[in-house]
């Protein structure tokens, strides 16, 4: 425990969630919640002031900037605070982009209070803090790289699940329609399926995309 408290910014669009996080952390003498942000944009601006050590960042913020994009914007600056994702989503489609964006850790909102406080301390020290289920998912990917979907494949499949056509997916991801079809072919092979519907169902059951 240090003499100077770890200064925390809470970034979540639900006031009740921020209040809950604040209540949990307020019982920790070495952690101080110094600011809150209701949007990802606000979090990016507030984190740039230089008086934050750890940002607790949600993934989903309505239709505007999301938590992953905000994380990349925050950690891309010199002297940036650490970003700890705290969300309800534990699919590969959420975890991989957040980690690649520079998040120091990834925790789920149903984590015990003591785990949240420990994760904040771990993140403040620059060490990785992962929910057990998230760590398991990442370890599985490392053990079976040949069958794991890449981030791009996960993005394509998530859009398939939303009902987008190959052409629409290509436009969204700035890919040619042929490239989208190639991604789908590899996805089918990895998942052992032969249709879009089966791919979505299998990926959902495996936690690769959101339910």
Q: Give the gyration radius of the chain's Cα atoms.
A: 18
Write the CA distances from 33 to 64, 76, 166, integer angstroms: 25, 22, 45
The one-digit pLDDT tens for each residue of the chain (211 residues) are: 447 899 999 999 999 999 999 999 999 999 999 999 999 999 999 999 999 999 999 999 977 799 999 999 999 998 999 999 999 998 999 999 999 999 999 999 999 999 999 999 999 999 999 999 999 988 888 887 777 899 899 999 999 999 999 999 999 999 999 999 999 999 999 999 999 999 999 999 988 998 7
**Long-range contacts of 112-119, Cβ-Cβ distance < 8 Å, separation of 24 or more:** 113/24, 113/27, 116/21, 116/24, 116/25, 116/86, 117/24, 117/25, 117/28, 117/31, 119/84
- Closest C-alpha to 116, from 134, 126, 128, 129: 129
Tokens of residue 98, six digits:
């957040």
């Amino acid at each position: 425990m240090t003499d100077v408290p770890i200064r925390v910014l809470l970034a979540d669009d639900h006031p009740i969630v921020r209040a809950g996080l604040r209540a949990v952390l307020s019982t920790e003498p070495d952690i101080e919640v110094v600011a809150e942000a209701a949007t990802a944009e606000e979090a990016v601006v507030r984190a740039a002031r230089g008086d934050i050590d750890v940002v607790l960042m949600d993934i989903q913020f309505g239709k505007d900037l999301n938590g992953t994009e905000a994380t990349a914007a925050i950690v891309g600056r010199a002297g940036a605070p650490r970003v700890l994702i705290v969300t309800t989503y534990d699919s590969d489609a959420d975890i991989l982009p957040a980690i690649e964006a520079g998040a120091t850790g990834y925790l789920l909102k149903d984590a015990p209070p003591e785990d949240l406080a420990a994760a904040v301390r771990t993140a403040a020290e620059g060490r990785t803090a992962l929910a057990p289920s998230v760590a398991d998912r990442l370890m599985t990917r490392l053990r079976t790289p040949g069958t794991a979907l890449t981030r791009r494949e996960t993005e394509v499949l998530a859009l398939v699940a939303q009902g987008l056509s190959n052409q629409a997916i290509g436009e969204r991801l700035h890919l040619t329609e042929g490239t989208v079809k190639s991604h789908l072919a590899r996805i089918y092979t990895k998942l052992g399926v032969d249709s879009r519907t089966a791919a979505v169902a299998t990926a959902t059951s495996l936690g690769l995309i959101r339910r």
